[in-house]
Structure 1
């Protein structure tokens, strides 16, 4: 049995005594935490009119991991049953209330709520329910036919995992599941993997969305990227399913949202991997996604940020582009004052009060140069937009020093080395190879002195030893520096023209 997830759901309507009846069920709050108090709400209503169906008696069973938590009969005169739940470590579950005289369903008294005490919500994850409708419309109107409704609702649970970055420093990642329990977590080669029970053969019409959050500390520089690639059962998710939220100063939240339509689209292919699990993978993308975006807490502005060069490095000028768009307005062009600051390790390393464009296709640009001492992660903070304290936003930056760029071989995308090998054996032409090298130089990944570039050579013949170098570099036989010497030779001779 697999459920439909989330902290609540509305089941499709069924016919009960000539009424199109739907059941709404929810747990609030829908997050598993130290608070022992929660509410279970059941509401039976006419799906055509949204009117509550009165005098409903429910037989209600709740299970977790296949084990029964409780099973009893409950009644509400208005058909809107609310059960107050106090979870504790006792051995038994007790019910406080009065009993309806005909079917013996537990119900609230005039002055006190209906209370359930005991080991009910002892962990996060998926809780399965089975509900039988025993009476409607009047206490004595007992339904002869068996009407059974079942499904599952979830309590979101935060999971903590300690991993080591490429410097062997320990970082704590959080995975918050809004559907079911997280299993098989693994972090290797800058890639997060985990799985979750999921029935790919279930009725997907009752499923709304599967939502996971991965929270990455802002000190985890090599996992902070402008874009992430994520897969489910090996199937690449579209960009709109993976979003970045940098609102917190302490960490970045990456949302993985797989909606019903997407699950239907990938269902047949996903089942080939597993029909009982949803296997997630998340890693920083090798390509850049701009602009980053956020919405201010007061819902006044949508803010977009990009920069160039795409890799932020020290001792070189970085141009940031900021665009403000009003969310609810006539979208007319105007000017607005705002504060821009860059915070690193609780210290302000840049601060300026500015005036910029709003609702304009021309972004506001700011040129900033970082010193070597400022390498690492930092917060790019926009605040007091238009003089409003709640019009603010934060983006996380990763600032690299030249030594970081040269020493971190993983910064060179794998496709570049593949290009080098294919170019050497003639599978791709010179132009395709040059585009890859231009990318590395533009982003500061390969440091090539621009001043040494020669004029266009009368002979575009690339020496054979250069292609040999490309093969050896792609295989890891020679290091980056040896390969760079060959590229410098081509530039000096004017064989390879690198545009700025």
Structure 2
């Protein structure tokens, strides 16, 4: 006879998985972990794997001959409730999600209680409408037997929690240079919609019942993944909002773990949700309108933990704007985790990588666990303007003690170098004019009008050129020659532009 004894609830939103607090089974403490892999919803890949693992909390030894009842719900509606059994206590089954009317189970059944087990081919598969969208999935696990198939617990153990299947959507945005970027928004709570990007702000919405029992809620977690080429949206600080309510700074964290993109996390815990509820309800009671924007202020330091959890690394720099051609001093702190934090020296490698090319590298020795940060100055060349990765590796000689920050190198100030015309949409008549002018088919005034068009359209940038007085308004013959050669592609853009800059600098072409 199976009797209902006690239940242990652990309300938490695991991101694709969760490990529950220890609970007592017989004379020992046991821990249950549940995982779903992959933990993202992909309509093009309906296959997921679910793993339940019961183990001794003290020794981490697997508890064998476990019979589970697993119930899965979403939005309060039951998806399934099945009994499972595994001889090794490490239950793993495959889920194939589709839009059919019911769920089918492919496996064998344990003879004593009838729990589903792996079949002769070693697999156990559930097929049907299971993980049909991203969002929060609540589960309840009941442990019926342990150690032996017929060792039915007098006190059934019940465990509850929730896991999140990430809803991932990709949006194309256009920056202020008319370049497009793919931005990913990942929701670990529910599906997202109404995405918009305007200047320095991204916004999107998610269904949310503000009148629900918020005590059953743990956290709402959203991510925005920004490619490292999207310099306009790479900031040291972001402001975040929910239904127009400005959220505290600690809601947003920056994660540059990838060389290819930055992940901006928005993590809103239950107490904050309760705190802003009254104000949020003025906008909507059925959804959260999120927005995140770059901040004009700077937030230092940036930080990351190394993959081996040996160090936490903090980075700041001055001046706040990293600009090509100007010296930037970087300040880095290494804080040793899980140690006595004794002050000492350690070696490490510092490199800067841009477009998969190492543009700077140096082997250094610096302070660990010190109140005084290590400082290092770098001057980036003009051609290195744009986003880059500053990479710390081999910290204290450990290959796994490494990490990455994304930085933006602004173009050189007061540069007399024009934009490359190759990347611009140059009207064909401009080059035609240059050729005709070189052949005296059109006059100086018509040619100058074409150059002024380039300047007004921001194709040719000359803001930094200081005009000088000239004794002559005549255009030198060598510039006419240059124009002819440029029109016939015998001269590159840069050399031609230098000639135009000469005309402006000497007041022959007047720029208002």
Whether the 8 Å CA contact 2:98–2:130 is kept in 1: the answer is: no
Deviations 1:379-437 (A, max 9, x none): 1111222222222221111111246999xxxxxxxxxxxxxxxxxxxxxxxxxxxxxxx
Shift of 1:96: 2.9
The separation in 2 between residues aligned to 1:241 and 1:117, in whole angstroms, is 38
- Say whether residues 1:163 and 2:173 are aligned partners: yes
CA apart distance, 1:60: 4.5
1:355 to 352, 365, 388: 365
8 Å Cα contact 2:72/2:81 also seen in 1: yes
SS at match of 1:273: coil
Which residue of the other structure, out of 48, 54, 72, is the alignment partner of 1:37?
A: 48
Does the 8 Å contact 2:136/2:188 carry over to 1? no
Count of residues paired in the alignment: 386
Q: 1:314 aligns with which of 324, 340, 344?
A: 324
- Structure 1: runs of 5 or more not aligned: 13-21, 44-51, 142-147, 407-445, 450-500
Unaligned runs of 5+ in 2: 1-10, 22-30, 55-62, 153-157, 417-462, 467-512
Do the aligned residues in 2 keep the contact of 1:29 with 1:39 (CA within 8 Å)?
no
For residues 94 and 414 of structure 2, the distance between their equivalents in structure 1, rounded to whole angstroms, comes to: 54
| Structure 1 residues 8 and 351: CA distance shift in structure 2, 3 A | closer
Per-residue CA shift, 1:359-393, capped at 9, x if unaligned? 22222211221222111111111122222222222
Q: Pick from 229, 250, 255 the counterpart of residue 265 of structure 2.
A: 255
Match of 1:271 among 262, 270, 281: 281
Q: 2:95 aligns with which of 72, 83, 86?
A: 86
CA gap of 1:302–1:5, structure 2 versus 1, over 3 A, is closer
Give the structure 2 partner of residue 204 of structure 1.
Answer: 214
Residues in 2 aligned to 1:372 and 1:99: alpha-carbon distance in whole angstroms: 69
Report the counterpart of residue 365 of structure 1 in structure 2: 375
Q: What is the 5 A alignment of 1:182-193?
A: 182-193=192-203
For residues 4 and 128 of structure 1, the distance between their equivalents in structure 2, rounded to whole angstroms, comes to 9
Q: Distance in 1 between matches of 2:170 and 2:290?
A: 16
In structure 1, the partner of 2:205 is 195
Cα distance between partner residues in 2 of 1:213 and 1:280: 11
Superposed CA deviations along residues 308-327 of structure 1, whole A, max 9, x for unmatched, are 11111122221111122212
Larger of the two Rg values belongs to structure: 2
In the aligned structure 2, how far is the partner of 1:59 from the partner of 1:288? 48
Alignment partner, residue 297 of structure 1? 307
Query: What's the TM-score, normalizing by structure 2?
Result: 0.63
Aligned match for 1:117, one of 106, 120, 127:
127
Find the residue that maps to 2:206 and give its secondary structure.
strand
CA shift at 1:228, angstroms?
Answer: 0.7
Deviation digits for residues 306-365 of structure 1, max 9, x if unmatched?
111111112222111112221233222222222211111122222222222222222221
**Do residues 108 (structure 1) and 117 (structure 2) align?**
yes
Are the structure 2 counterparts of residues 296 and 5 from structure 1 closer, same or farther at C-alpha, using a change threshold of 3 Å?
Answer: closer
Considering only aligned residues, what root-mean-square deviation do their CA atoms show, in Å?
A: 4.4
Which residue of structure 2 lines up, in the alignment, with residue 337 of structure 1? 347
The answer for the alignment partner of 1:234 in structure 2 is: 244
Structure 1 residue 272: deviation in Å? 2.3
Please, which moves more after superposition, 269-278 or 303-312? 269-278
* Structure 2 residue 410 is the aligned partner of structure 1 residue 400: yes
